[in-house]
């Protein structure tokens, strides 16, 4: 890691090593082409020298032609999921073969050569440790010469690298087992240390990022919640709702407010520049898809991304098959899921890294990026599943790429790795008891007039939809092409694909319903947290009112063997937490019988008191059971790894920070507390931060 006192590696040595590795890679590509010509019909390469010439011409064509195509058709490249890059590579192979030996290669043969050379180059480049980001960084340097000069300083910048959903314990296990060699090296060298912290209830990305990036996550009771006074269903993966969340929480003093950038996050942290950030995709003063230009301008990089995506889909199918064959607990993940997973674990990973590399070369003071791949796979496979840990190892590789780019920056940099929450393992509620939470509520309610549970769609669909919305609103030829290509998928909240469109329509129907047409009961799941509201009755219902309307409902929920506790407000006792064998009164911490929150963490009561104070706290807050002996939670969603509530590893994220940063004065509890700690560390390093209005008074 390069800091203000660490000299850059000798330029000549770096250049010599790079040239040697590139020559070796070129020779391997030439051998691949020469061998391919012997077995692929329609391809004629008479000698190894001719093959080497083709490789050189191919590199020249890639440098001259593809950047022009990308500048014109960037959104279309994205829409085709990189297939346009493969088409371009095929065309360049065809042209290169014709230029070198004046042959007439077939298009199909050129296609197979393009795929084969990409696969071999990807493997060989990794084994040879070739800096595959060199082309990308050259493009960036040409585009930002002026800003590089402005940002030249000895004050270290900070790159915040968030690994969504990774708990501290799983991280430590991955370090010990060698799964994350870059992080392990930093810890062993003493350049970094791990700081554990505790996130809020609810333990999910929307609330955690609001706290981390904006300094406040008040009144965000779940990933989804119902606001009675407005009759609105809020969803943390909605373009419009994340914009509203940011409007409410922002004071203009976010973590990234002073010349920072936001890359692939739900919320922007008040960054003046952003890409793939859901809350600002429609703010064209801050969010521009042109930030992706350097990444998409490299045809080999795009083709490599496509090949890696196909590889990831194959790995997913193999991992799923092994879980089924071994009899391990699992959830269904067929259909389009492998493609969705590849988009999150490969495409978004590569895009985030590309934009962070550009930020480093430009000298941006502070940047924050969220990598969602581990969270996505751990949800479906399990928090310690081999394929989840494989994804984690690939994220560690991105840290190495960033570290290697720092010597090319106009300033030193510190890299901080952190998570927003953890995940807890556990088989879904429906698998355990044969019913969903909605069905349990419906069965216990006295009325048959409408218990609804709007579908809980993976947040990945919202992120992809938001990204496509950003690209389709770009004021360019490519943006207009993207808008035409996605117009049949556009709803009120922007582009929505797959189950996201159905969820968006239901979301809109609930929001637009007249008072008389509101459902009687809404049941929402946020991991292991259930939020139950009664929309037809204004204000927050008390235990007594609910008992009058639906006798036995609360008692039935509290006694359920797969439910840990139910929080409700009583007219006589205030907020109480009810369990199968006892009651906890939050006003004075008194316990009757067995405390239902005894195993949910030392700060469980404080988290619940805070939640109870929210104006948007649901009428009933329900938690899945926590099996402390097994460290497992019971989620209401169809996940093997989950978060959103209290109990176990989901509450314990981490931050890997430079060892030179000061020690924390007290345990960090809550994302807002971590926000202020991160700012304090930035100030120690000499970076300016925006002060909140309250701090200035």
Could you tell me which of 388, 299, 347, 242 has the C-alpha nearest to residue 85?
299
Residue 473 lies in a domain: no
**Of 36 and 300, which is predicted with more confidence?**
36
In this structure, the answer to whether residues 22 and 75 fall within a common structural domain is: yes
In this structure, the answer to whether residues 358 and 235 fall within a common structural domain is: yes
Could you tell me which of 468, 507, 470, 474 has the C-alpha nearest to residue 488?
468
147 has pLDDT over 60: no
CATH for 656: 3.40.720.10
| Number of residues written out for the chain | 697
* Strands lying side by side in the sheet with 366-371: 192-196, 654-658, 413-418, 157-163, 366-371, 261-263, 273-275
Residue 577 lies in a domain: yes
SS3 542: strand
In this structure, the answer to whether residues 267 and 372 fall within a common structural domain is: yes
pLDDT attached to residue 543: 97
**What is 614-637 written as a DSSP string?**
-TT--SEEEEE-EETTTTEE--SS
pLDDT attached to residue 23: 79
**Torsion 433-434-435-440 (CA) sign:** negative
pLDDT in tens, 563-604: 999 999 999 999 999 999 999 999 999 999 999 999 999 999
The listed range with the strongest mean pLDDT (64-78, 297-311, 628-642) is: 628-642
In this structure, the answer to whether residues 354 and 368 fall within a common structural domain is: yes
Tokens 């940011």 map to which residue?
246
Torsion angle of C-alpha atoms 350, 351, 355, 356, degrees rounded to 10? -40
In this structure, the answer to whether residues 403 and 544 fall within a common structural domain is: no
134 has pLDDT over 70: no
Q: How does residue 5 score in pLDDT terms, banded at 50, 70 and 90? A: very low
pLDDT in tens, 273-287: 998 899 998 888 888
pLDDT attached to residue 508: 75
Question: Contact, 681 vs 157, CB < 8 A?
Answer: no
pLDDT in tens, 369-386: 999 999 999 999 999 999
Residue 654 lies in a domain: yes
Residue 438 lies in a domain: yes
Longest CA–CA separation in the chain, Å: 91
Last residue of a domain, one of 605, 620, 639: 639
Tokens of 391: 């994804």
Q: What domain range includes position 308?
A: 152-424+649-692
**Of 257 and 147, which is predicted with more confidence?**
257
In this structure, the answer to whether residues 107 and 190 fall within a common structural domain is: no
In this structure, the answer to whether residues 112 and 243 fall within a common structural domain is: no
Tokens 């808008």 map to which residue?
483
Last residue of a domain, one of 73, 93, 127: 127
pLDDT attached to residue 213: 98
In this structure, the answer to whether residues 108 and 167 fall within a common structural domain is: no
How many folded domains does the chain comprise? Answer: 3
Q: What is the DSSP code (8-state) at residue 595?
A: -
Print burial letters for 368-393: b (CB count within 10 Å at least 16), e (below 16). Answer: bbbbbbbbbbbbbbbbebebbbbbbb
Print burial letters for 518-539: b (CB count within 10 Å at least 16), e (below 16). Answer: bbbbbbbbbbbbbbbbbbbeee
Could you tell me which of 649, 576, 663, 569 has the C-alpha nearest to residue 617?
569
Question: Contact, 286 vs 250, CB < 8 A?
Answer: no
In this structure, the answer to whether residues 19 and 103 fall within a common structural domain is: yes
Residue 505 lies in a domain: no
Strands 413-418 and 157-163, by their bridges, are parallel
293 has pLDDT over 60: no
pLDDT attached to residue 7: 45
pLDDT attached to residue 142: 55
Q: Let me know the angle formed at the C-alpha of 406 by 301 and 140, rounded to the nearest 5 degrees.
A: 45
In this structure, the answer to whether residues 415 and 434 fall within a common structural domain is: no
Tokens of 314: 């194959």
Rounded to whole angstroms, the Cα distance separating 495 from 240 reads 12
In this structure, the answer to whether residues 283 and 380 fall within a common structural domain is: yes
Strands 529-533 and 574-578, by their bridges, are unpaired
Question: Span 393-404, mean pLDDT?
Answer: 94
Residue 57 lies in a domain: yes
Cis peptide before 202 (omega within 30 of 0): yes
Last residue of a domain, one of 615, 639, 663: 639
Rounded to whole angstroms, the Cα distance separating 656 from 19 reads 34
In this structure, the answer to whether residues 280 and 398 fall within a common structural domain is: yes
Strands 273-275 and 654-658, by their bridges, are unpaired
Residue 481 lies in a domain: no
User: How many CB atoms within 10 Å of residue 290?
Assistant: 13
Residue 584 lies in a domain: yes
Work out the end-to-end distance of the chain between its first and last CA atoms, rounded to an integer number of angstroms. 38
């Amino acid at each position: 890691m390069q800091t203000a006192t660490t000299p850059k590696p000798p330029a000549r040595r770096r250049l010599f090593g790079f040239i040697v590795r590139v020559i070796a890679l070129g020779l391997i590509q030439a051998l691949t082409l020469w061998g391919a010509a012997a077995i692929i019909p329609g391809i004629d390469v008479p000698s190894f020298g001719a093959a080497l010439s083709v490789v050189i011409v191919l590199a020249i064509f890639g440098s001259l032609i593809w950047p022009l195509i990308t500048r014109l058709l960037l959104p279309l490249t994205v829409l085709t999921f990189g297939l346009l890059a493969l088409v371009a590579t095929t065309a360049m192979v065809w042209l290169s073969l014709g230029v070198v030996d004046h042959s007439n290669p077939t298009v199909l043969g050129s296609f197979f050569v393009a795929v084969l050379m990409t696969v071999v180059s990807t493997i060989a480049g990794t084994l040879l440790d070739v800096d595959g980001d060199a082309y990308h960084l050259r493009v960036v340097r040409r585009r930002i010469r002026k800003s590089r000069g402005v940002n030249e300083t000895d004050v270290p910048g900070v790159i915040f690298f968030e690994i969504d959903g990774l708990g501290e314990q799983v991280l430590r296990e991955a370090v010990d087992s060698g799964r994350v060699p870059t992080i392990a090296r930093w810890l062993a060298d003493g350049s970094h240390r791990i700081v554990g912290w505790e996130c809020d209830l609810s333990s999910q990305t929307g609330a955690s990022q609001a706290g981390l990036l904006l300094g406040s996550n008040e009144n965000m009771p779940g990933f989804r919640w119902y606001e009675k006074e407005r009759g609105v269903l809020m969803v943390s993966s909605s373009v419009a709702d994340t914009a509203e969340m940011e409007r409410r929480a922002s004071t203009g003093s976010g973590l990234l407010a002073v010349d920072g950038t936001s890359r692939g996050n739900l919320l922007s942290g008040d960054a003046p520049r952003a890409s793939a950030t859901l809350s600002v995709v429609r703010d064209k003063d801050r969010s521009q898809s042109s930030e992706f230009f350097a990444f998409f301008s490299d045809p080999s990089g795009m083709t490599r991304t496509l090949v890696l995506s196909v590889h990831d889909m194959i790995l997913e199918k193999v991992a799923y098959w092994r879980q089924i064959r071994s009899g391990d607990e699992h959830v269904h993940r067929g259909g389009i899921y492998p493609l969705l997973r590849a988009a999150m674990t490969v495409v978004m990973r590569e895009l985030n890294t590309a934009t962070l590399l550009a930020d480093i070369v430009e000298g941006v003071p502070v940047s924050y990026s969220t990598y969602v791949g581990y969270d996505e796979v751990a949800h479906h496979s399990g928090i310690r599943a081999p394929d989840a840990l494989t994804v984690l190892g690939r994220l560690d590789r991105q840290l190495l790429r960033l570290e290697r780019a720092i010597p090319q920056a106009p300033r030193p940099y510190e890299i901080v790795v952190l998570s927003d929450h953890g995940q807890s393992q556990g088989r879904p509620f429906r698998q355990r008891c044969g019913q969903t939470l909605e069905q349990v509520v419906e069965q216990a309610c006295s009325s048959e007039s409408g218990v609804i549970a709007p579908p809980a769609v993976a947040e990945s669909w919202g992120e992809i939809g938001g990204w496509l919305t950003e690209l389709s609103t770009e004021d360019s030829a490519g943006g207009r092409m993207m808008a035409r290509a996605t117009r049949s998928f556009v709803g009120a909240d922007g582009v929505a694909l797959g189950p996201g469109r159905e969820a968006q329509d239901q979301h809109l129907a609930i929001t637009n319903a007249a008072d008389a047409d509101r459902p009687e009961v809404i049941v929402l799941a946020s991991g292991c947290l259930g939020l139950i509201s009664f929309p037809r009755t204004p204000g927050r219902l008390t235990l007594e009112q609910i008992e009058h309307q639906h006798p036995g409902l609360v008692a039935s929920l509290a006694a359920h063997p797969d439910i840990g506790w139910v929080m409700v407000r009583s007219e006589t006792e205030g907020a109480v937490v009810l369990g199968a064998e006892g009651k906890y009164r939050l006003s004075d911490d008194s316990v009757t019988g067995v405390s239902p929150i005894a195993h949910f963490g030392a700060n469980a009561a404080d988290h619940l008191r805070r939640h109870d104070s929210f104006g948007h706290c649901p009428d009933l807050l329900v938690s899945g059971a926590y099996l402390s002996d097994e460290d497992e939670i019971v989620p209401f969603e169809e996940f093997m790894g989950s978060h959103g509530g209290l109990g176990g590893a989901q509450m314990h994220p981490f931050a890997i920070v430079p060892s030179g940063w000061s020690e924390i004065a007290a345990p960090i509890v809550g994302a807002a507390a971590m926000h202020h700690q991160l700012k304090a560390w930035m100030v120690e390093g000499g970076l300016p931060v925006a002060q909140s209005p309250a701090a200035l008074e």
